[in-house]
Amino acid sequence: MPSEGRLVLCIDDERIGLRVRKLLLERAGYRVLTAPDGPAGLALFESEPVEIVLLDYSMPGMHGGEVAAMMRQRKPAVPILLLSAYVGLPSEITGLVNGYLTKADDAPTLLARIQSLLPDVD
């Protein structure tokens, strides 16, 4: 399985959504780190060999656009997939990330998008 062992960082303040995504990704063969907010996510992003980030947009204190901007400065090659309940986020936000999905998109769509953003490993 191509996803085996790839490290995904999920950042979301909604605990249930975070747990569901973690379970889905682990069943698909990914290793998953979770963070409940931007600062905790940035700390993991800095300290772990994260290969892709699933980032919620609407979070208290620091929204996903701010988190993505900081990640781009630190590790610009790591793909970021923004997840949001909002449709039509401004281009200054979507321009910071590699992809954008609504939280209403189904699991196969999410998994396919993640796989398309991860570079192949030999």
The residues spanned by each domain of the chain are 7-111
pLDDT at 1: 42
Buried-exposed string 74-88: b where 16+ CB fall within 10 A, e elsewhere: eeeebbbbbbbeeee
Give the CB-side neighbour count of residue 120, counting CA atoms within 13 A. 1
The pTM of the full predicted model, rounded to 2 decimals, is 0.92
Q: Which of 71, 21, 22, 83 is nearest to 45 (CA)?
A: 71
pLDDT tens digits for range 40-86 = 999 999 999 999 999 999 998 899 999 999 999 999 999 999 998 87
Select the CATH number that applies to the domain covering 7-111 from these four: 2.40.50.140, 3.30.930.10, 3.40.50.2300, 3.30.70.370: 3.40.50.2300
